[in-house]
Every structure is written in C-alpha cells, then in structure tokens.
Amino acid sequence: MISSNSSAHRPKYPRLIPLSTSPTSFSLSNLSPNFSPVGPKGEVERTQHLGELLSDTLPDLLVDCQDFHRVLDVASGKGSWALNIARNYPKLWVLGIDRHAQYVEQANAIAVNEGLPNIEFLVKDISEVKDAGYQQRLFDLVHLQFIVGELMPAQLPIFTQTLVELCKPGGYIVWTEAEIPITNSPACERFSALLSKSLHYGRRAFNPGVALGITPLMSSWLRALHCHVVRDIAYPIDLSAGTTMRPRFLYYIHDLGLQMRSFVLNTGICQPEEYDKLFDEALRDIQSLTFAAVCYIRALVCSPLDFKAAAIAGVVAAQKQA
C-alpha cells in the first residue's frame, strides 16, 4: 500500500519561469472626453480576446517547455500565445484550437507567412480534439486562458476532465482566468452588476454574486481529478487613469458592451434605452482623470498525477524497506 504522503505521488516540479515585472511597452494615448474607440473608416477597433488585451502584462510561460514535444492551446483566439511558443521552441509541435473560424484562419495565415512548420490551428472544441484520437499521443502541456465566456458552468466539469485526459501524466496544465474589475465608478459597477444578472438569467454564472466566480473553482476541479497544484499565482492589473492599461480596458469594455447588448436585452431585465445610457456612462467614467480600477488574475500550473509511476515507485520503496 502506498502512503498518501509518499513523494512518489508528487510529480517532478517544472523549471518555473519568474513572472515578468517589466512595464508594458504600450504607449498611453491622450484620451479626450469625447473619445470613442472607432477606427478612421468608422469600423469598431475590436479587442477580440482578453488574452491579447493583457498580453504585455502576463508571462508568456509559467513552465519551461524546453523538454516538451507537444503543446495544446485551448481557445487559442488569434493564436498570439501559441505562435510565440512555436517561435521560441522550434522543436515543439503546437496545436491551437478555437471554435471561431475567422480566428483560426488569421492564426494559420500568420504561421504560414512566418514559415513556422511546427504549428497548426484547427476549428475545433476540446471534445472534438479528444474524439479525434489525440489521447493516443498526449500533450506535455495544455494551455488555456480566459475561457470563461466560451462555456456554460454545467459544461466545465466535463471540460476540465477532458483537459486532464489530454495531458500526459506528469505533464502540465496552465490555466489563467480573470475576475470582473473592481472600480470607483458607480456606472461601471452598475454595468458589471447588470451583466452579471444577465449571466444568471442565461445560466452562465459561476457565482451567486456580481463576481464571475470561476477563479475559486479552478483548483477545486483540478484537484478532484487528481491533479497536483504546482504553482498558484494571483496578481492584480491596474486599469486606472494614467496607466498603460486604461486605453486597452476602454476598448475592451466598448467591445464587450456591444457584444453583450443583445444577450442582456433578450433576458428582459432592462430596456434598450436603459442599457445604452448605462453603457455610455460607464465609458465616460473610464475616461475620467479620477478613474481607478484593478482586475485580479489567477494562474494555475497543475500536473495530472502519474499513478502508474507512483505505484512502481511505491513497490520499489516497499521492497527496499523489506
């Protein structure tokens, strides 16, 4: 019998990459009180993926991929993270999957243009990857970030189990999520509460309150699936006036508000004019000189336990003690 305290149960720790503390290179533009995030031809300049919005503030890696062979990037968006891995580790094979065909097309175009032979993007969700037989050749690293909007809460337990099944025992799952920012703006707080209420009506909320509520659950789900938490990091991102992140946050909220409008109105919790008025007030507050906000991020590095290796190690240890 193997003791629950046996070191054989613990996977080998990866070489951890320190969190980047260098400031972002994004230059702060001068925002006028009448600023609107619309391009010169009238089209909305969209921030399509939260991971790209925060790309300069998040570490590219929390583990060293040098000894890895296969990496999976789930909900890869336009492929920024996966492309960066493929560039830095040419001996790796990287697969990015996303259910949005336009993102996959853009990411593949970049890979072809740069001549990257070690990366591929497919229009798939994670269940399709599992069904396609990738369990025969598991991944050393499964990466995902900010996927809370991609799935309903009822789907997350099965989704998490699939992550673990696609990761090699002793491999690594790197998962990053964010919570709704905390601000000093009454309009922003009311707008956040409205969005949260609509998520409850649509059965897409993870929390009975205003918070998204996914960050407390991440480690619980993974531990329940016999994953060992190697690294657990929580850190704030300042979105206040005078920071380099404030303009990006403004663009993101503008885009989010447009995308969520029909969803919120379809729940019947407010009228169109109420939504538009509150949305406009929130955008104005974000541009004010006194605006203050912080967004909290949680990043987990977990490793599925290698029970076969643990059992062998336990037998060897028992034989030595005999």
For the cut 80, the answer to whether the pLDDT of residue 210 exceeds it is no
CA distance 73 to 224: 22
Q: Which candidate, 193, 204, 113, 106, places its Cα nearest to that of 154?
A: 204
Phi, psi of 302 (to 5 degrees): -125, 155
pLDDT given at position 47: 37
For the cut 50, the answer to whether the pLDDT of residue 207 exceeds it is yes
For the cut 50, the answer to whether the pLDDT of residue 55 exceeds it is yes
How far is it between the farthest Cα atoms of the chain?
79
Exposed (0-12), middle (13-18) or buried (19+): which is 142, by Cβ within 10 Å?
A: buried
Q: What is the dihedral of CA 32, 33, 37, 38, to 10 degrees?
A: -80
pLDDT given at position 39: 36
Domains belonging to the chain, first-starting first, are: 41-306 (3.40.50.150)
CA distance 42 to 55: 26
pLDDT in tens, 22-43: 323 222 233 333 333 333 333 3
For the cut 70, the answer to whether the pLDDT of residue 238 exceeds it is yes
Place of tokens 């990257």: 116
